[in-house]
Amino acid sequence: MVHSPVKPFLAIEWLQPGEGEDTAALRLLNRLPDMYGSRFFDILLLDALYAQTPVLQLVHNIGWDAVISLKQNSRDLYQSAVRLFASRPPDLGFTEQRDHKTYQVQLWDTEGLPFTIDNPEPVRVVRSEEVLDRNRYREGELTSHSTDHEWLWVTTLPKQVFPTPVIRQLGHSRWKNENNGWMDLTKHGPSNTDFSTLAGTAPSRPPPPANESRSPTTASQPSP
């Protein structure tokens, strides 16, 4: 959960043999409204694996919104967005100071790009180009260091209500799920083992047969 003082896991869904994380995650997300109510949170922050039609359909049916990382696994949408943004100047630029770091940010934002060839539903895509400047000690001397970064997100949030910098902020906030979930659990959990082993001790169900392996997927993605 982003912006929450507590760090709960809302649910666990077990992977069945041969299926992917996204399939189990869709089952889990479908269960959450019955467990907590559909308005327990409003926005899902998801990685690029979930930039797919079934996820957008689920978000629409339940009444949620989503901010999803966009990478080259969504080839058509990614290439369309990159070509469009390369042909025009940024819509917004600013400098941000945070955690003793300086970010030079340029943002592009467009609505109406077809999600896929098979599902041409128009979606909004935001791109952020950022130069990160910070000081580092090298060989005992404090030196300036710069790195370039690029992110793209596809979102169902309307531009009139959620301006471009807010989408960038939400997109970056997804990393809090990693810190609040996996990293905290493996670092501060009751054992030094990995999450799959740790979580496997919790459910009160018989263990899977020896020739089957199951791994849990968790609802650590949503934002309130």
- Residue 125 backbone phi and psi in degrees, to 5: -125, 135
Strand runs labelled E in the chain:
12-14, 43-46, 65-69, 92-98, 101-114, 122-138, 141-155, 216-218, 222-223
Q: What is the pTM of this model?
A: 0.77
Number of compact structural domains in the chain: 1
Q: Is residue 127 part of a domain?
A: yes
- Residue 159 backbone phi and psi in degrees, to 5: -65, -30
Q: Is residue 211 part of a domain?
A: yes
Q: Is residue 151 part of a domain?
A: yes
Grade residue 164 by pLDDT with cuts at 50, 70 and 90.
Answer: very high
**Span 1-43, pLDDT tens digits:** 666 666 677 888 899 999 999 999 999 999 999 998 878 888 9
Distance separating alpha carbons of residues 211 and 208, to the nearest angstrom: 8
Q: Is residue 100 part of a domain?
A: yes
Distance separating alpha carbons of residues 194 and 145, to the nearest angstrom: 34
Please name the residue that has the structure tokens 């001790």. 201
Q: Is residue 199 part of a domain?
A: yes
Q: Is residue 204 part of a domain?
A: yes
**Span 86-131, pLDDT tens digits:** 999 999 999 999 888 899 999 999 999 999 988 999 999 999 999 9
Q: Which of 130, 88, 70 is nearest to 106 (CA)?
A: 130
Host domain of residue 29: 12-223
Q: Is residue 2 part of a domain?
A: no
**Span 186-195, pLDDT tens digits:** 666 544 444 3
Grade residue 196 by pLDDT with cuts at 50, 70 and 90.
Answer: very low
Distance separating alpha carbons of residues 115 and 92, to the nearest angstrom: 24
Q: Is residue 85 part of a domain?
A: yes
